[in-house]
Amino acid sequence: MSGDTLSFAEAVRARHSVRAFLPDPLSPAQIRSVLEDARTAPSNCNTQPWNIHIVSGRQRDLLSKELLRAEAAGELSGDFTFDQNEYFGAYAQCSRHQVQTRNDALGIARSDREARRMADRRNFEFYGAPHVAMLFAPVFGDGVRVGGDIGMYAQTFLLSLAARGLGGIPQTVLGLYADTVRDVLNVPDDLKLFFGISFGHEDRSSRDNSYRLGRVPAQESVIAHDTPGLFDSRQAPNPPLQSPDDTKGRAS
């Protein structure tokens, strides 16, 4: 801890996705500090393509209402595709594990579709957060490079929150209703919505925040080339890549 922020190592481990917030708004100075940190993120050719809308107060309430309405009406309008059925093998297993962990923490039975939908709809209430940041950018080419830039910005934003004892959660689900968000915030069509980040003070007493998700060990996703002793001197050189059907591991 230095001053009123955590060290990098503390912040990176303290960060987690917060799914219940206290209603108390942050001060403008607190939000500004996070934005000052986030804008230091690297980007392809230093293009800094991020175009961020911070939404609070009555506009936040209106946006939430419109998103809940659009979800109920099935008015999907994402700028990018997102289909969890496209995950395969070990990735699908990680995804299922994440949903199962949440359902267990909330006491939701796998068969209870309505309870699962209600839990998912909390996304559109920003999990009770007083603020949401909507991350827009222009798209160049197939958009992958800009997506990387937005990811860099978002993680810097999230780590800045964590370092200051605050919480946030990135939400692709909000990006699935891009036209609704653009309409409410008066954003031109050529800015595409990657995702939103709800943020504020974590409600530490909520069971929505009672669990943490693990990660696969580094050596399961890192292959060492001529870097002896990186993990274990007995590690075989270049272990074979997992086939799409290999679901072992990756679900800790």
Ligand X SMILES: Cc1cc2nc3c(=O)[nH]c(=O)nc-3n(C[C@H](O)[C@H](O)[C@H](O)COP(=O)(O)O)c2cc1C
Q: What residues line the site for ligand X (CB under 6 A)?
A: 16-17, 98, 123, 169-173, 195, 213
Distance in Å, CB of 227 to ligand X, minimum: 27
Q: Which is nearer to ligand X, 16 or 164 (CB)?
A: 16
Residue 15 Cβ vs ligand X, minimum distance, rounded to whole Å: 7
Q: Give the residue with the Cβ less far from ligand X, 195 or 199.
A: 195
Nearer to ligand X, 20 or 31 (CB): 20
Stated as kind and residue range, the H or E segment containing 218 is none
**What is the residue whose two structure tokens read 């809940």?**
68
The answer to whether residues 1 and 160 touch, using CB atoms and an 8 Å cutoff, is no
Taking each helix axis from N to C end, the angle separating 57-73 and 178-185, rounded to the nearest 10 degrees, works out to 150
Least distance to ligand X, CB of residue 203, Å: 15
Q: Which of 202, 191, 192 is nearest to 172 (CA)?
A: 192
Kindly tell me which of 172 and 247 has the beta carbon lying closer to ligand X: 172
Closest CA to 171 of 92, 90, 63: 63
171 phi and psi, to 5 degrees? -140, 100
How far apart, in whole angstroms, are the C-alpha atoms of residue 21 and residue 64?
15
Residue 174 or 187: which CB sits closer to ligand X?
174
According to DSSP, the β-strands at 167-171 and 131-137 are unpaired
Q: How far is the CB of 20 from ligand X (least distance, A)?
A: 11
Do 58 and 157 contact (CB within 8 A), yes or no?
A: no
Q: How far is the CB of 16 from ligand X (least distance, A)?
A: 4
